[in-house]
Amino acid sequence: MRALGSPAAGNYGRFGKLSSLKDALTTPPKAHEVVHMLLEGHGAVARTARGVFPLADEPTADLLTQRLTLHEQTARMLRSLLEE
């Protein structure tokens, strides 16, 4: 973020305010719910990466491509767990 001229969030409170994902539940979720939460999180990261891709310079686009691939592969794996 600093290389792009923006200050990085320096603590968990700031990260939480910047996050588009909800905090985890206060009671331990069941395994099926955890898979749904993970799927939602990976999908949100992939959508965000796709949304900022047109704004990225070449090195950032390369990083986004790598992260997008990882999150989309993980989302596919999680979806397959829900299909069983």
Q: Where are the domains of the chain?
A: 29-84
Banded model confidence at residue 84, pLDDT cuts 50, 70, 90: low
**What CA–CA distances, in Å, run from 57 to 7, 64, 83?**
18, 10, 38
Banded model confidence at residue 73, pLDDT cuts 50, 70, 90: very high
Separation between Cα atoms, residue 78 and residue 35, nearest integer Å: 6
Under 8 Å between Cβ of 79 and 39 = yes
Q: What predicted TM-score, i.e. pTM, was given to this entire model? A: 0.73
Q: Which tens digit of pLDDT belongs to each residue from 6-64?
A: 777 777 788 778 777 777 667 888 889 999 999 999 999 999 999 998 999 999 899 99
pLDDT the model gives residue 7: 77
Separation between Cα atoms, residue 14 and residue 62, nearest integer Å: 26
Under 8 Å between Cβ of 71 and 49 = yes
pLDDT the model gives residue 1: 65
